[in-house]
Amino acid sequence: MNRIYFDHAATTPLDKRVSKAMRDFELKYFGNPSSVHREGQQARAEIDFGRAAVAKFLNAKPQEIIFTSGATEANNHAIKGIVSKAIFEWGMKPHVITTELEHHSVYNVVKEMEKRGVIEATFIKPTPDGQISADQIIKEIKDNTVLVSCIFVSNEIGSVLPVREIGKHLSSINSRLSTSHKIAFHTDAVQAAKFYNCNVEKLGCDLLTLSAHKLYGPKGIGTLYIKTGTKIDNLMSGGAQEYDMRPGTQNTAGIIGMAKALELLGSLEEREKSAKKIRNLRDELWDQIKNIPGVELNGPIGESRNPENLSITISDIDQDSLITAMDLAGFAVSTGSACVSGSSEPSHVIKALGKAASKTVSTVRFTLGQATTKQEIDIVIKKFPEIINKLRKYNK
Ligand code: PMP
């Protein structure tokens, strides 16, 4: 049976050209990039080239790019690093603003620090259709606010947040604050990079997170952009790699793969073209399944929704049975974040929309990709209602 992959927000298939670039690199340059001999320096030169490519994608300086093991580490570094530095420099309890739409690698970090009494935290609630305005965030700023961390595009429900507007407000607020106290602005752009402009200057952010495996690149490599002058501590101690900010021998092949994956995404115009094609297919899918009784869209419609995402809630269906039935029928779909798969509890994001938390309400997320075809959409349009009907009959 041919499989149909609708889980590109969880991870994307590795592009063959990325795989080749990594393999070629690994075979040719095995040296440790921190070694002073030629083998080391050759590897170092290649990762510098990769760093420059990531910097170009973000319109940043190469020395502002720190390679990490992925977005989870980058998000932890951004939040814990800013909080730790603020506590050290001021000695007061810092306040962090984030949203209820964050990925667990932001949401759980802030929740945990709040629970331990390390920080005060404000979680901004979305509207029932999954939107958050810049004003909602700015309104919560207090004298001890040190960080705003706001996801760019929701991995679960596809909301696109007004990151640029938030950045603009924050830079105006920061220009009135003393140089010893600035509010850092972090955005998790993991799900945004495929389609949206991640120019850090335009976004007005101090910290930005990327992960290669969401962009047809390899797993285990990510980036934290740290704007020059940002007051931030390290997450780990050790060697002097990554400008003294992230110790440990670099994942050299991963860096080459990440740089290649970003290069292959193309210019903003090319990314917008790809977004249009994917959006049309996604809209066709939604048009055909929205009339199934008990089906409801999660998240916004129109321009403020990620083109690849279709997240829906369905009544009178057990979630695990639905995902399993879809899998058996050949479709890879998910309930939301893959990071909590195995849990049939609705996620904090779905709960934040005020959706009923019940055993008979399911969430299904379809996320389309570069290789999704009209034929695949036609197949799921035919099969999905059949699967729903069958499961509902069993449940009766
Ligand atoms: N942030 C977002 C928005 C994500 O979608 C993910 C992956 N689900 C992560 C962070 C974590 O990424 P990684 O797997 O690279 O740790």
Q: How confident is the prediction along the chain (396 residues), in pLDDT tens digits per residue?
A: 689 999 999 999 999 999 999 999 999 999 999 999 999 999 999 999 999 999 999 999 999 999 999 999 999 999 999 999 999 998 889 999 999 999 999 999 999 999 999 999 999 999 999 999 999 999 999 999 999 999 999 999 999 999 999 999 999 999 998 777 899 999 999 999 999 999 999 999 999 999 999 999 999 999 999 999 999 999 999 999 999 999 999 999 999 999 999 999 999 999 999 999 999 999 999 999 999 999 999 999 999 999 999 999 999 998 889 999 999 999 999 986 555 555 667 789 999 998 866 667 889 999 999 999 999 999 999 999 999 999 998 876
> In this structure, which CATH number among 3.30.420.40, 3.40.50.460, 3.30.300.30, 3.40.640.10 belongs to the domain 16-265?
3.40.640.10
- Look at ligand 1, atom 5, and give the residue with the nearest C-alpha: 155
Give the per-residue pLDDT at 180: 76
- Look at ligand 1, atom 7, and give the residue with the nearest C-alpha: 10
Count of other CB atoms within 10 angstroms of residue 1 = 6
Pocket test for ligand 1, best of 67, 155, 311 (most atoms within 8 A of CB): 155
HEC per residue, 55-119: HHHHCCCHHHEEEECCHHHHHHHHHHHHHHHHHHHHCCCCEEEEECCCCHHHHHHHHHHHHCCCC
Q: Which ligand 1 atom lies nearest to the CA of residue 212?
A: 15
Give the per-residue pLDDT at 361: 82
- Protein residues whose CB sits closer than 6 Å to any atom of ligand 1: 70-72, 75, 103, 105, 151, 155, 188, 190-191, 211, 222, 337-339
Handedness of CA 144, 146, 148, 149 (dihedral sign): negative
Query: Ligand 1 center to residue 74 CA distance, Å?
Result: 10
- Look at ligand 1, atom 10, and give the residue with the nearest C-alpha: 71
CATH 3.90.1150.10: does it fit domain 4-13+267-395? yes
User: In whole angstroms, how large is the CA radius of gyration of the chain?
Assistant: 22
Exposure on the CB side of residue 309, measured as CA atoms within 13 A: 30
- Look at ligand 1, atom 12, and give the residue with the nearest C-alpha: 71
Q: Which ligand 1 atom lies nearest to the CA of residue 102?
A: 3
339 noted as active-site residue: yes
Query: Ligand 1 center to residue 396 CA distance, Å?
Result: 38
Task: Look at the block and give the residue holding tokens 């940002």.
Answer: 230
Q: What is the DSSP letter of 346?
A: P
Q: Which ligand 1 atom lies nearest to the CA of residue 9?
A: 5
> Considering the entire predicted model, what is its pTM?
0.96
Burial class, 280, CB count within 10 angstroms (exposed 0-12 / middle 13-18 / buried 19+):
middle
Query: Ligand 1 center to residue 69 CA distance, Å?
Result: 11
How remote is the C-alpha of 190 from its chain's centroid? 3
- Give me the residue spans of the domains in the chain: 4-13+267-395, 16-265
